[in-house]
Structure 1
Amino acid sequence: MNQIKASRKQVAKLMRKEGIQSIVKKKFKVTTDSSHKYPVVENQLNRCFKTKRENKAWGSDITYIRTKQGWLYLTTVIDLFDRKVIGWSLINTMKAKDTSVKSLRMALINRPLKADEKLIYHSDRGIQYACEEFVSEINKPKSIVRSMSKKGDCWDNAVAESFF
């Protein structure tokens, strides 16, 4: 069998010349369960991902991490001002108390809110962000306004989604 050595650049050039291109299909897996009984809220962020100071808008998301021992779930809370992760949770369960609630509590410790500050907390419509346990936790500081992406629209939460 003859072997030909060629760089990626050479192959791309030859493929362009021949008018062919590779097809790479990446399987998309829906991971957000937004088919739940809990109420959702309107999108208050409206893709305004830049703020002039910290604690104006936070974004949160959960990603799945496969390990040899099983799945882990990483929840992050990111301040849109400086894109820093200010709260997080890594756990092997998807329960709200261990994901969204725990990361919110950490964020509030790392970036305490002033009494007169209004904060937009943006997430997807997943059950961890819509359930009663999370809603009661996020409503403790009266200055947080909840915001959720439109169903199936990852661009509405692009900062948190792109962290992963």
Structure 2
Amino acid sequence: MSPTDPRVLDDIVKAYDVRGTVPDQINTDVAYALGVGFARFCQAPRVLVARDMRPSGPELVDAFSRGVMENGSDVVDLGLASTDLMYYAAGTLDAPGAMFTASHNPAGYNGVKFCLSGARPVGVDTGLDEVKRIAADVLGGRGPLPAASAGSLSSRNLLEAFADHVVSF
């Protein structure tokens, strides 16, 4: 099965996230398709994105962001961050987000944890199945046409604000 075969999503989309090996299961084609799917599912004016320290993170985030922006949403890149910082950002900025991480898995893996505005997690019963369906259409060449107006990319550093929040307890 080639990495862009839509059936790869059956192997990597789990109950609460997306996880797989890079590049045979997760690559820039898959990340782009997930970006399109998440943008279409959320229909939000902006989407947050962040990544952990995995070597594959920057190129996957770039591809995902392109998919989001081509579908009309702005992307706010939080850069290198922890998952809890992403949830803090989604709550504070009231925007959906995608965290590129594979948790405890080794460096050859990567994945995505999605949340809605207010830091509400996305799982198969709360939208991940719809993201998967749209991503499969994109990988199969049946994806939606790009939006008439593309979104923009900006960066934001919330590390100091997050640290202040953590020590406030």
**Both proteins in one fold, TM over 0.5:** no
Kindly indicate which of the two structures has a greater share of residues assigned to helix. Answer: 2
Q: Under a length normalisation based on structure 1, what TM-score does the superposition of the two structures give?
A: 0.31
Q: Under a length normalisation based on structure 2, what TM-score does the superposition of the two structures give?
A: 0.30
